Amino acid sequence: MGGAITRDQIIEQADRLFYERGFEHASFTDIAAAVGISRGNFYYHFKTKDEILDAVIDRRRVKVQAMLDGWEAEGRTPVERVRRFVHILIANQTAILRHGCPIGTLSTELIKLNHTAQDRAAGLFTLFRDWLARQFHAMGWGADADALAMWVLAHSQGVATLANAFRDDAFLQREVADLCAWLERLSVTSPSTTPATVGAAADVRREFEVFRQPVTRA
C-alpha cells in the first residue's frame, strides 16, 4: 500500500513540476524533494525520466477522459458541453497565466526535443478533438464536425498562449465570453435547422469574426 502511494505521489509531483518548469528542467532531485523521499527510494519506482514521463501522460489521459465522461453524464446539450470545455480556460486561469496550457506546453516541448513520447502527448489533444467533434456532430454539423472541433481547439490554445504571454486575464475572459456567445448562435444556425452549404465550417468560422466586430473593447 505504501509503495503504491509513493508511486502515485511521485507521478503527481512530476506532473506538477513538468508543467511548472518543463520536462527538461525538472530533475530527479526536484521530484524526489517535492515528494520528500530519497533518490534511492525514487529509483525503486522509476529508473528513468522517460518512465516518469510515460506515467505522467497516462495520468493526464485518465483525468481528461474522466472529465469528458463526467460532462457526458451530466446530460447537458452538446452546446452546453462544448461551453464546459471552453470554460476550462476560466477554471484554470491562474495556472494558465503563469505556465500556459499544460497539454500544449508539454506537447510543444517534446516536439522541440524530438522526444519519442511526443505522439503520446499529442494524443491528449486527440481526446479533446474527438470529443468536440462528437458534440458538433450531435448539433447536426456532420462532415464539418471535425473541422469545427479543430477550430475551437485551436482558438482555445491560442487564447491560452497569448494570455500566458501577456499575463492578461481580461483578454482570456473576453475571448471565452465571445466564444460562448458564438456557440449559442451556432446552435440555432446548424445544418439541422438551416440548409447545409459547401464549406459550411469555414463559413461559421468567418461568422465568428463578423460576430466580434461590433463589440466595443474597454
Quote the percentage of the chain above a pLDDT of 70.
Answer: 85
pLDDT at 148 over 90: yes
Residue spans of alpha helices (H) in the chain: 2-21, 28-35, 39-45, 49-73, 78-86, 88-91, 93-99, 102-112, 118-138, 145-166, 169-187, 200-212
The fold adopted by the segment(s) 1-47 is Arc Repressor Mutant, subunit A (1.10.10)
- Does the pTM of the predicted model rise above 0.85? yes
**Tens of pLDDT along 28-47?**
999 999 999 988 888 999 99
Query: In angstroms, what CA-CA distances link 80 with 66, 98, 131, 133, 162?
Result: 17, 28, 13, 14, 25
Are 207 and 185 in contact by the 8 Å Cβ rule? The answer is yes
**Tens of pLDDT along 47-75?**
999 999 999 999 999 999 999 999 999 98
| CATH 1.10.10.60 domain extents, the chain | 1-47
**Tens of pLDDT along 71-113?**
999 988 999 999 999 999 999 999 999 999 999 999 999 999 9
Across all residues in the chain, what is the average pLDDT?
89
Q: What's the pLDDT at 197?
A: 44
Q: Where does 54-212 sit in CATH, by number?
A: 1.10.357.10
Q: Which residue has the cell 504571454?
A: 165
pLDDT at 193 over 60: no
Confidence of residue 214 (pLDDT cuts 50, 70, 90): very low
Measured at the CA of 78, the angle between CA 150 and CA 164, to 5 degrees, comes to 45
- The residue length of the chain stands at 218
| CATH 1.10.357.10 domain extents, the chain | 54-212
